[in-house]
Amino acid sequence: MLSFVNLHFDDPLLNMATVLVAGILGGEIFARFRLPKVTGWIATGILLRWVSLPGMDTSVDPLCLDRFLPYMHFVLGFIAFTVGATLYFASLRNTGKRIGLLLLGEILITPAIVAAMLYYLGPLVPGGEVMTSHPAFVLATIAIAGAPGTTVLVIQEARSRGILTRTLLAAIGLIDMVAVAGFVFITTILGDKAGWPHALQSVVVQFVVTFVIGGGCGVAAIALTRTMVSPAFLGPTIVAAILGAWGLAAGFGTSGGILACTFAGIVVTNLRHDLVRSGEAYLQTISGALFALFYTFAGMRLDFGLVPQAAGLVALYFFARLVGKCVSAFTAMSLAGVTDNVRGYLGISLLPHGGVAVGLILLVTADTAGFSEEVRTLVNTVGLSALAINQLLGPSATRFALERSGEARKDRARLLDFLQEHRITVGLTGNDREKTIRELTAQLYATSKMKLPQEEFIERVMARDAEHSTCLGKGLMIPHAILDEDEGQGIRGVLGISPEGLPFETPDGRLVHAVLLLATPEAERSRHLQVLSAFATAITRDANLVEQLYHARSAAHAYEVLHADKHTDINYFLEDAADQAGLRPT
């Protein structure tokens, strides 16, 4: 017979169920006000902290939430792996300069602005008399860190697509890696006084160890799937790689669990890209529960009771980080020559502050960090309080940036989806048709998975061009080849732009400014005709589009021209194909 004499309602699983249900409800309430669900999850967590659930009362046991750290670490690892998996090198063509300049700005400009404002203005605000160089420098490096998981969720929720979105996805994981490197460098200098050579050595050791661990786990997962693991267990194998990378990083005494999982994602996506998609698909069905619970717990770890103690410094730190992000992104994107949408809104979209920042703050507050009690208390108070504000406002800031840049709600199938930025080249030169086709074919094969041998593809394209010229006039040339039935993967192609023009033989005697090379499977002939029709119609009807496209400054600029809402006549949603082109998609 059951006894109800000693009832306990603080079981971890019951706590997780309660927090999950509360988080789901909070997210749905915020969504009804057109706010990101992640903001609702975090706000719900802060509210639950005040409620003090049984077994989760931080005023009684400040470490009670640590019981759930293994779960938090797994989700952080999954987020880091997913972010690393976005760094598919074949798809990052044309983004190297943009991302490199952004990372340079993040390591130099953002911390410089934050440190200067805290050090010089901190003592002037109420309660800021305790601000010295040590906490200012430490908080400045922590300010670099972003929130990959939050950013990815907001992008997915906004159904966003475009150059700003692409830049965010490519950069957020690397920004966290830069933050960890800067943190290790600064804390080593401030902590043991050994000088910058030893600090640099510590950074290198951290990255080498975590790369070996993460890369090793990624290679092991690939090896298992190629030898013993059936396709049904590809997803669980990826999960095991994530758990192993985090656990081994912790076992080796590094602070780089996030780095190790990021490196695992980078290795897997570049060695076997399809395996990443399988792992993501495996967790897709429960990702909502994973993230709702994770961010609600994250909210419970943020104590707004700390804010009144240093309200002036918290506000200054928040403002300094916002200014640093905006100035850094604007400067980097200006040097990269990107369009106004990216340059103007990238900084705001980088506002979210997440898991890496929390981990770095906890490292500072640990007794073994080598800092004085005053520094540890100040970093914990200001850092976590400002983090709480960033977590609440950051997702909405990112959503605002995506909306204002015009990239939200564009994640629908379009006619020219295959023409992503890495499949566009600006600056074609030469006067030899075959040489131009070979150059574009090399780009096609570098950015797309093709079964047909490259030389055979070139022969088919040249034979088609010899049979009937693919120069359509008005500066447009569309060489193409029909692939065998088993090629699959849909239509593929690359676009070459020549602002000066190529002196090929054309029907109207005009120079060729745009060369669109297409590889079309037999089953996609209908869509192939749609592409030809859309381009041919555009160059005869839209002089503005032609002028912008033929004189695009960069691949990113050409992408935005083709994918702009005002040019839907050429790049329409496939579901609207019948209305736009008089053809119905297959």
- 301 plus 370 within the same structural domain: yes
Same domain? For 359 and 228 the reply is yes
Which of 173-187, 506-520, 553-567 is least confident? 553-567
Does 377 share its domain with 426? no
Is residue 501 included in any domain, yes or no?
yes
Do 385 and 430 belong together in one domain? no
Residues 364 and 454 grouped into a single domain? no
Among 404, 439, 465, the domain-final residue is 404
Give the residue-averaged pLDDT of 217-224.
Answer: 92
* 454 shares a domain with 377: no
Query: Would 243 be classed as within a structural domain?
Result: yes
Which CATH number is 198's domain given? 1.20.1530.20
Q: How far is CA 346 from the centre of its chain?
A: 12
Evaluate whether residue 416 is within a structural domain.
no
- Between 464 and 185, where is the model more confident? 464
Residues 227 and 262 in one domain: yes
Q: Are residues 129 and 183 in the same domain?
A: yes
Cβ-based neighbours of 406, under 8 Å, separated by 6 or more: 162, 341, 564, 565
| Tens of pLDDT, residues 412-462 | 555 566 777 888 888 888 888 889 999 999 988 888 878 888 999 999 999
Q: Are 383 and 139 in contact (CB under 8 A)?
A: yes
Tell me, yes or no, whether 369 and 429 share the same domain.
no
Residue range 551-579: average pLDDT? Answer: 64
Domain that holds residue 145: 12-54+63-404
In a domain, 449, yes or no: yes
Of 341, 371, 404, the last residue of a domain is 404
Residue 66: pLDDT band (50, 70, 90) is: confident
537 has pLDDT over 60: yes
Residue 29 reports pLDDT greater than 50: yes
Cα distances (Å, whole numbers) of residue 42 to 48, 152, 296, 348: 10, 16, 5, 19
More confident call, 479 vs 422 = 479
pLDDT (0 to 100) of residue 341 = 79
* pLDDT confidence of residue 194: 63
Q: Is residue 410 part of a domain?
A: no
Residue 217 scores a pLDDT above 70: yes
Same domain, residue pair 363 and 465 = no
Domain end: 379, 404, 429, which one?
A: 404
Are 395 and 456 within one domain?
no
CATH number at residue 483: 3.40.930.10
Task: Identify the three-state secondary structure at position 60.
Answer: coil
- Written as one string, the DSSP assignment of 450-491 is --S-HHHHHHHHHHHHHHS--EEETTEE--EEEEPGGG-S--
Residue 491 falls within a domain, yes or no?
yes
The more confidently predicted of residues 112 and 529 is 112
The answer to the question of residue 398 being in a domain is: yes
Q: For residue 6, what pLDDT is reported? A: 52
Task: Give domain status of residue 415, yes or no.
Answer: no
What's the domain count of the chain? 2
For residues 383 and 472, membership in a common domain is answered with no
Torsion sign, CA atoms 432, 433, 439, 440: positive
Name the nearest CA neighbour of 462 among 474, 475, 477: 477
